[in-house]
Structure 1
Amino acid sequence: MKQSFILSALVLALAGCSQLPEQAPAPISEVSEPVVVVEPELVENEVLNDHVAQAQATDFGHIFIDRDMSFIGTLPCEGCPGVKYHVNLFQDGKFEARQEFIDRHEVNLVKGTWLLEGRVIHLMSQQTKIPSFQFVSNNKVVLLDEAGKPVISKDNYELVRSNNFVKLDTSMQMLGMYQVIDNNAVFTSCTSGEKLTIAMTQHHIPMLRSYQTDKNLNGKPVIATMIARQSQKEDKMLFVEKFEQFWPGATCPDTLNIAKVQGIVWRVERVKFIQVPQQYNLRMLFNDNAKLYGFSGCNVFNASYSQSSNLLKVNPLVSTKKYCAQSNYYESNFTQHLQMADRIELNGDKLQLFHNNEVVVEMKPALN
């Protein structure tokens, strides 16, 4: 009897010291169902500040960049239709990115290193400033504002991971000095000042022939416009994808000190009250011998002009006769008002043509 009492007391003592919670038996009628985990998405919350919102919780604790990844998307841009982003994250801690400002013909190719802090990915480069992003899922990142908070808005601020790794498109609109020395073509970018050797490809041959057959150009440096891509290898070769034209008499613009009208390739920004889409690339040049020429979106043109102080007279244009359905409206509008201009003024980095004291054409220096 005494042994039985001691054994019972010991059992009660052990039960009282247990750290395991007492579990109630499940009702007989309850049927277990599989748990479905739904990945949360950003929602458009109403916040006092449209551009700043608190970070939202996710259903994962860690991000691993254990393979090369591509994130692609278009983000809003103040004063432009948007910026196309393509960011490649490499598992060795490096990144490369392409920023393309829509309707500006402006492309930035950036390289650097990334740093992951929790769910925030910092992109660090000595070339230019790149925004940071936060992972909202394993396959999506959202832009962070200057305060380091995810931007939540009715507009899209997210980049989505591609199913497969995508190589960066390095092609871009370029303007710079072209010259052939000892059968080697070299190009010096007006924007970066970088000197590159041009690869001998089928798209470069028409450019080379045009240069070599023109006695006024052969052997001399000349401003050229083209679409090209730079090799990602150490040789820094440049591959021409489309040759546009040469601009004899032009020089690289000094955007901080625009002192004269002549010798600069001007890009048409506006005709009367109509903004000209940059995709049509309307450009022109006034040279020092009272000639002007350019590209009006579909056709090339030239004319003579006279200028006395701010007074301007443009003689009838001579132009090719191609028809381009998309750009024809902007082309005809521009060429009509160019020939109507009676006054010219340089205001900061803007070149303005007037008719009856009204601005009819507005241009800026072309950088690419």
Structure 2
Amino acid sequence: MTSGPSVRFLVPEGVDDPRRVSGGNVYDRHIRDGLRARGCAVTTQEAAAAAAAASALRGAPDGALVLVDGLVGGWAPAALEEHASRLRLVLLAHMVVAAFPDATDAAADAERRALAVARAVVVTSHWTADELARRGLADPSRITVAVPGVDRADAVTPLGENDLLCVGVLAPHKGQDTLLDALARLPTADWTCAVVGSGESFPDFAAIIADRAAAFDGRVRIAGVLDDDALAEAYQRSALLVAPSRVESWGMAIGEARARGLPVIGAETGGIPEALTGGGGLVVPPDDPAALAGALEAWMSDPPLRARLRHEALTARATLPTWSDAVARVADALEAA
């Protein structure tokens, strides 16, 4: 689709706001900009809640092609159902809500309804595609996998062997509490860990993480949201990314790390093993502080292991998916719809 149709892209409010950093927003921006570069006339419409989403759908002309971020679709399943017969709806599912252990029945039902009326579904990992099919939420024939791409970046130049980095919104499903439990088990104090991400979505959890981090006497730094330059610098000067998620469809931070040849220790959950294809990472069971501590201790105490993971991570950079690949896959799904 080198010269494509007009597309309305319904996204969460603040998709371009640097203070609202999220993997979903980063993905949406790359897809929007990439589709425009391919010749599609993309109109972005932001929604903060169900009423705004319903209004945007109501204002779309009959036959319009509408790409809906899954978060927005989950807010307004009734509006999607109302307009499905006159609009060509494509749902972009960044996650599987039903896979979250704390998912409410209402949230899972909203996801089911939104997926049911979409002509096509775009997902960001093969794990997500398999999970949706396994749960009977979407027929595999309607699903297109468009894994996140990476931007070219310089190889990392870490300040020290044991400078750790954890990037992601402070939230129970991201597992920062598991990371702190693991760090508390380490026999050596010769490490630092920067925890980067917004605490606005889950303020109670974020407050607990900040309080617990203070007990590490400055070795754990809660950095909050970093702008693009500061975040790039954090990746560049770190020795290891830790991704302790309990649920993860892919892991945009893992892609950012791998673009720089930064090794990763991640939880063996969701799309993380898929994101680490090609080497340069270790996986441990999710929600298992002892296993994570063991992997971190191995990293810190085993120079040959560090050398191997660094070599694999640097080598894998040449094989990583690109954003052009992702945009092409989304374009194919839109064309099919």
Is the structural similarity TM-score above 0.5? Answer: no
TM-score normalized by the length of structure 2: 0.26
Q: Tell me the TM-score normalized by structure 1.
A: 0.24
Higher helix share: 2
Higher relative contact order (CA 8 A, sep 6+): 2
- For the pair shown, the structure with the greater C-alpha radius of gyration is 1
